[in-house]
Chain A
Amino acid sequence: MSIVKAKELVHEYIRRDEEGNVEMIQTALDHVNIDIEEGSFVAVLGHNGSGKSTFAKHVNVLLKPTEGTMWVDGKDISNPIFTYPIRREAGMVFQNPDNQIVASVVEEDVGFGPENIGVEPDEIWRRVEESLKSVGMLKYRNHSPNKLSGGQKQRVAIAGVMAMQPKCIILDEPTAMLDPNGRKEVLEAVHELNRKKGVTVILITHYMEEVVDADRVFVMDSGKVVMDGTPREIFTRVEELKEHRLDVPQITLLAYELKKSGLDIPDGILTREELTEALCRLS
């Protein structure tokens, strides 16, 4: 069953001058068709300005389509009566960890979402505890977010979304401002949620390393979906990726270069182990 489905989705940012005349139209999404299976881990790749964040904001009804339709869990996002039901089912985590934490104590921030939707206090406490545990942040529940590392703050933000018990979670470049350790922490937490709780994950990123374990990858450029497949299928097409201003993980790139130089190794190598095996077989 599909949880997020976009059909011919178009979004235009319109800039007007002081008199209200249209000054510029920028097409951020250009007839996008995407279908995301419930329970899957999907990555949307693209450089800055490729439209991937605009796409993400539609899933949470922070933006509405100019043309076309999107359904989240079968509900049409253009219909205002579905706005809040959809936001409950599709939670969103943003890029800047500081600018999405509302409260000054970790547990109070995680409780913010459930408070907004009118959950009873006892149930809020139960959810807060469960969500913090699921991202490994329970022992920081009484801390101030200002004292946490970037990766920890992002995990708190993820817990804040989980406390609303969504079916789907969209992460809009959650690791762009983190160091390698923080990036690893966040990715591990998200994969764990996907595996253990069956939450659908839509990860928006420009780091290729992060999509290796995804079920499916969409590559976006100039508002269009230009590539679509499993990570292995995508990573085989090195030249194409470069054209879309993305880079390929070192290992994949090396395998590709070696193959081009005439070595007989398989397509779409993703990990170090795979490349080691392939090369040992040759020697």
Chain B
Amino acid sequence: MSIILDHVNYTYSSGTAYEIQALKDINIQIEDGQFIGIIGHTGSGKSTLIQHMNGLVKATSGAIYFNGQDIYDEDFDLRNLRTKVGLVFQYPEHQLFETTIFDDVSFGPKNQGLTKDEAGLRAFEALKMVGLDESLYYQSPFDLSGGQKRRVAIAGVLAMRPEMIILDEPTAGLDPKGRDEILDLISKMHDEKNITIVLVSHSMEDVAKYVQRIIVMNDGSVMFDDCPSEVFKHYKELEAAGLAAPQVTYLMHELKERGIDVDTEATTVEEAKRSILKALC
């Protein structure tokens, strides 16, 4: 599976005085099995970008190819694309609506036209994956805690068995433990189910720990698209764009300037610790 965005532009309210170009000439290729982070401050175009990837928003110009097929072709099945490319919105727990958790998670598979049994099976599998206690399956989703609701909402997308899942700020509003649980879950989906993951975040620290590739969005364009250590080398430019590299990156650069021979590519606490110990001992 692959998604290619080819010279994609998107303009809001085009033709009026309030025209805003939200995306400018985006060229991105996403390959099977990747774990990608998209970073940008609010208004950088990252949310608009991901809504293009499953056809919820149509580009003003440019083309998008899913497995080589143009998704704007008249006979292309957009609903099918949406089940292949799952999109988990920000605060996804606000979209829960069924009377039981189980029914809510079955909503996606049912829309795919699966039989009741098959849909139930997938719901069960998805709920198991997100680690929700079985005794809760037939309770109302509205009685759960914030973190649990979010896991149910993610299960709702997972139950469609997508090949790729895009998550828009999946940790917003959660406390540190809740955040770690969600991030671990996402990385489990990637490792065990081999699902391609696109993680939208504004926390460099979160992203650095998990992803293989970072796409930095700024002012509607792709500013950087590379592996984390390469991207963080530009920490000064990132800061100018209203983003900060992980604290560790700054520290390593400062140490290097002060003559300690550390590896400036370290982005996590673990890497930094190893490098500092090596340099000092």
Contact = CB atoms under 8 A, between A and B. Distances in A.
Are A and B genuine complex partners? Answer: yes
Interface of A: 47-49, 95, 149-150, 176-177, 179-182, 206, 208, 245-247, 249-251, 253-254, 257-258, 261, 263, 272, 275-276, 279-280, 282-283
A142 B131 CA distance: 48
A20 to B, nearest CB: 20
Contact of B172 (A177, A279, A282): A177
A149 B251 contact: no
Interface residues of B, number: 37
- State the 9 A-B residue pairs at the shortest beta-carbon distance, nearest first: A247-B176, A245-B177, A47-B175, A206-B175, A250-B247, A48-B175, A179-B202, A179-B42, A276-B254
B244 interface: yes
B16 interface: no
Nearest to B205: A250
Nearest to B258: A280
Interface string B16-47: 00000000000000000000000001110000
- Main secondary structure on chain B at its contact with chain A? helix
Given A177-B172, A180-B242, A253-B269, 14 more contacts: A47-B175, A47-B178, A182-B42, A206-B175, A208-B176, A245-B176, A250-B205, A257-B273, A261-B273, A272-B247, A272-B250, A275-B251, A276-B254, A279-B260
B176 A206 contact: yes
Contacts of A177: 172-173
A258 B244 contact: no
A49 B172 CA distance: 16
Contacts, number: 89
A263 B274 CA distance: 12
A258 B175 CA distance: 26
A180 B244 contact: yes
B89 to A, nearest CB: 14
Contacts of B41: 179-181
